[in-house]
Structure 1
Amino acid sequence: MMPEISRFYGIIIRLRYNDHPPPHIHVRYGGQDATIDIATGRVQGEMSKHALQLVWTWLDLHRDAIEENWELARRQEPLKSIPPLD
């Protein structure tokens, strides 16, 4: 199961329950999919540069809440929505 934790500008951010380390988010935009390391911002997969810039900005703003959600997901607990990028 991979619940959505945020959505903005057509970008969908999800976390998978009980996912493998390192802590990361799953991002979908315009048919492209990538995983992004929460701590480093390192990208695996395909994503436009514009979308990545938006996600990295959002990640910087909400890193603590994203890390908290990662821990909740590892414990199979309900995730919290995180505000979108304005």
Structure 2
Amino acid sequence: MTICLNDHLPPHLHAFLSGQEAKHSIITGEVLSGALPRAKGKDIRAWLDANREQVSYVWREIRAGRYNGGMIE
């Protein structure tokens, strides 16, 4: 999953699998656009539920120009 630098609102992340992409809301976990297999979408929502605070922090830091990069595990 990726949060793109200089990305647009609403807060979201990009998930990729086998050439497919879906954008998921960081706030709700819902799919904003695109599609992935149902099981993968369920995994993404579960991961986001467990990591929402950290992902939201990274989103805010990127938007403020203070994020130095790195992965969220």
| TM-score w.r.t. length of structure 1 | 0.75
Which structure shows the higher strand fraction? 1
Which structure shows the higher helix fraction? 2
CA RMSD of aligned residues (A): 1.2
What number of residue pairs does the alignment pair up?
71
Aligned residue among 56, 64, 67 for 1:75: 64
Deviations along 1:16-54, whole A, 9 cap, x unmatched?
112111100011012110100001112110211011011
Q: Distance in 1 between matches of 2:7 and 2:27?
A: 16
Gaps of 5+ in 1: 1-12
Task: Please say which of residues 57-66 and 68-77 is displaced more in the overlay.
Answer: 68-77
| TM-score w.r.t. length of structure 2 | 0.87
Aligned residue among 39, 42, 45 for 2:27: 39
- Structure 1 consecutive aligned stretches of length 4 or more whose deviation exceeds 6 Å: none
Counterpart of 1:47 in structure 2: which amino acid? L
> What's the % identity of the aligned pairs?
31
Gaps of 5+ in 2: none
